[in-house]
Amino acid sequence: PDRYAVIGNPIAQSRSPVLHTAFARQFGHDLQYEKLLATHENFAETVRRFIAEGGKGMNVTAPFKLAALEFADTLSERARAARAINTLKFGPEGVHGDNTDGVGLVSDIRDRLGIALRDRRILVIGAGGAARGILQPLLETGPAHLLLVNRTERKAHELLEACGAAGVTAAGPLDAAADGAFDVVINATSASFDDGRLPLGRGTFAPGALAYDLVYGRGETAFLRDARRLGAARVSDGLGMLVGQAAESYRLWFGCWPDVEPVMALVR
Ligand code: ATR
């Protein structure tokens, strides 16, 4: 079998083996997908050993997305923009690093949820690693406007300056989101991990708006509950993004695009 793995710490909770095994079944690929636990000290050594044993590729999860950036010989444009890697491909030409998180989100919103992003008003809340990973793919969909807000406003400005899409984008403090009538509102903060509330208002959501939390597996978060109460027509957690990023990794490794819908049902 072809050997693949996901590396992280902790790693026991990872659903990547289930996802990739399900994709492989769709195509009849012979795939062995493992979980690798590493530390910051032995990350590089663990990846090198996996390559030496014949490993073909790897997903990278917290806290190694930055370490993987340094490990890779070549980087995709989107990995460079995200300054993080979630997918490695090992080949004769070396280690290639990519980041499929952002396209995973975009394909989930567009293809699975059926919501267009072109010419829409998008709000992204948060300016940490998760936000950085999705900004460029979101901008590539051609929104009419993208507002990035963050508790620490300075970080929102810095992040937008780094990805440079003047004209369409603006940055501001959290409460700048209260009145913008956005079509798509994305929570990229880590607030959902401790059920933190965000200052949303009725004016945040345009008619028919989607509220999307990047977090998954925590039921309906405070953000999604508030969004629904304040008029969001549709809400979604980040499980579809998880499946979407895995599908894009699979495409990078095998060149074929898995059907995500039955796999969503499997992990739901
Ligand atoms: P991640 O990699 O998950 O994005 P991170 O890089 O630590 O994690 O970033 C966390 C993000 O969530 C930041 O934008 C943070 O805001 P600050 O930059 O002001 O710290 C945001 N965040 C975390 N808890 C929050 C809360 N309770 N309310 C609002 N924003 C919060």
Tell me, in angstroms, the distance from the centre of ligand 1 to residue 191's CA.
6
**Mean model confidence pLDDT for the chain:** 95
Given the CA of residue 126, which atom of ligand 1 is nearest to it? 14
Task: Give the type of residue at 175.
Answer: D
Predicted pLDDT of residue 178: 87
Pocket probe mutation, ligand 1, options 148, 153, 189, 198, max atoms within 8 Å of Cβ: 189
Question: DSSP character for 109?
Answer: I
Orientation angle between helical segments 153-163 and 129-139, nearest 10 degrees: 40
Given the CA of residue 155, which atom of ligand 1 is nearest to it? 18
Q: Which residues of 197-226 are buried (b: 16+ CB within 10 A; e: fewer)?
A: ebebeeebbbeebbbbbbbbeeeebbbbeb
Q: What is the mean pLDDT of residues 124-145?
A: 95
CA distance 181 to 121: 8
What are the residue ranges spanned by the domains of the chain?
Answer: 2-99+241-267, 102-237
Nearest to 189 by CA among 123, 240, 244: 123
pLDDT digits over 218-246, tens only?
Answer: 889 999 999 999 999 999 999 999 999 99
Structure tokens at 65: 């997305």
Predicted pLDDT of residue 193: 84
Domain 102-237: CATH architecture, name and number where available:
3-Layer(aba) Sandwich (3.40)
Structure tokens at 4: 């693949």
CA distance 203 to 207: 10
Residue 35 belongs to what H/E stretch? strand 31-37
pLDDT digits over 67-98, tens only?
Answer: 999 999 999 999 999 999 999 999 999 999 99
State the pLDDT confidence band at 160, using cuts at 50, 70 and 90. Answer: very high
CA distance 234 to 186: 12
Q: What is the mean pLDDT of residues 146-153?
A: 97
Q: What is the mean pLDDT of residues 104-128?
A: 97
For ligand 1, whether the C-beta of 127 sits within 6 Å is yes
Tell me, in angstroms, the distance from the centre of ligand 1 to residue 266's CA.
30
pLDDT digits over 2-54, tens only?
Answer: 999 999 999 999 999 999 999 999 999 999 999 999 999 999 999 999 999 99
CA distance 206 to 183: 5
Predicted pLDDT of residue 2: 94
CATH of domain 2-99+241-267: 3.40.50.10860
ipTM of the complex: 0.96
From the candidates 56, 65, 89, 155, give the one annotated as an active-site residue. 65
Tell me, in angstroms, the distance from the centre of ligand 1 to residue 94's CA.
35
Tell me, in angstroms, the distance from the centre of ligand 1 to residue 151's CA.
7
**Does 155 qualify as catalytic in the annotation?**
no
Predicted pLDDT of residue 268: 86
Q: Which residues contact 105 (CB under 8 A, 6 or more apart)?
A: 134, 137, 138, 186, 212, 214, 238, 241, 244, 245
Q: Which residues of 128-152 are buried (b: 16+ CB within 10 A; e: fewer)?
A: ebbbbbbbbbbbebebebbbbbbbe
Pocket probe mutation, ligand 1, options 151, 187, 195, max atoms within 8 Å of Cβ: 151
